[in-house]
Chains A and B, each alone.
Chain A
């Protein structure tokens, strides 16, 4: 299985901050990477797929980049509703695997 490693595990930030989360794959996954936002008690939300494609309805302050084994999710200006846990997921080869998550907190 492809191992996905995120950093940092926890990120402390303030409103308006630019935030960057990194995800590394144990082998090349081309651009087959997705990002999700999870909040307790709510349905997880797809943010980005194929490394940089913004899912419909997702605010443009979210962006993704990278290819091969290294990827980033950037939030350009942190909003109150963005405090959550973010996960990357490779969709290059089954079984699909996720990173361990990055919690963005105040």
Chain B
């Protein structure tokens, strides 16, 4: 069973860049590695994925502010969101996708609050 663990600052100031990392227990070559978020009181939003080759796919709603990367030597992948606002306050999950567009393993999620 794949285990994923998110890490990163829980508090980010408006207009700054938010960075999160997900550490993976299994081979990082096996899946598409995905970020999903859930804003307070709202539903789930797909952010995008990164593949071990470095290929990425982002949700058009966030594409201009999102960058994902992968470090195969550390079995980690990362998310950066620039110019954050209060609307980016959410629980951020990392997850695995076998390539079929659904998510079979998830991390527990990490809350990121955007506030001055």
What is A's interface to B at a CB cutoff of 8 Å?
Answer: 32, 34, 36, 41-46, 49-50, 55, 87, 89, 91-92, 94-101
Q: Do B108 and A42 have beta carbons less than 8 Å apart?
A: yes
How many A-B contacts at CB < 8 Å in the complex? 58
9 closest Cβ pairs, A-B complex: A91-B101, A34-B102, A98-B44, A95-B59, A100-B43, A43-B106, A44-B106, A96-B46, A91-B102
> Is B100 close to A, CB under 8 A?
yes
Contact of A46 among B57, B61, B93, B103 (CB under 8 A): B103
- Residues of A close to B105: CB separation below 8 A: 43, 46
Contact A49/B102 with A87-B43, A99-B43 known, Cβ cut-off 8 Å: yes
A contact face: mostly helix, strand, loop, or mixed: loop
- CA A89 to CA B42, docked complex, whole Å: 15
What would 19 more interface pairs be, CB under 8 Å, given A42-B108, A44-B103?
A32-B101, A43-B109, A44-B93, A44-B95, A44-B109, A45-B106, A46-B102, A46-B103, A46-B104, A49-B100, A87-B43, A89-B102, A89-B103, A94-B57, A95-B46, A95-B60, A96-B46, A101-B43, A101-B44
Chain B nearest CB from A62 CB (Å) reads 15
> Is B14 close to A, CB under 8 A?
no
Chain B residues 52-82 with CB under 8 Å of chain A are: 57, 59-61
> Is B10 close to A, CB under 8 A?
no
What is B's interface to A at a CB cutoff of 8 Å?
Answer: 4, 42-46, 57, 59-61, 93, 95, 100-109
Give the most central of B45, B100, B102, B105: most A CB within 10 Å.
Answer: B102
- Residues of A close to B43: CB separation below 8 A: 87, 98-101
Q: Do A41 and B108 have beta carbons less than 8 Å apart?
A: yes
- Residues of A close to B106: CB separation below 8 A: 43-46
Chain A nearest CB from B107 CB (Å) reads 6
**What residue of chain B has the Cβ atom nearest to residue A89's Cβ?**
B102
Chain B nearest CB from A29 CB (Å) reads 10
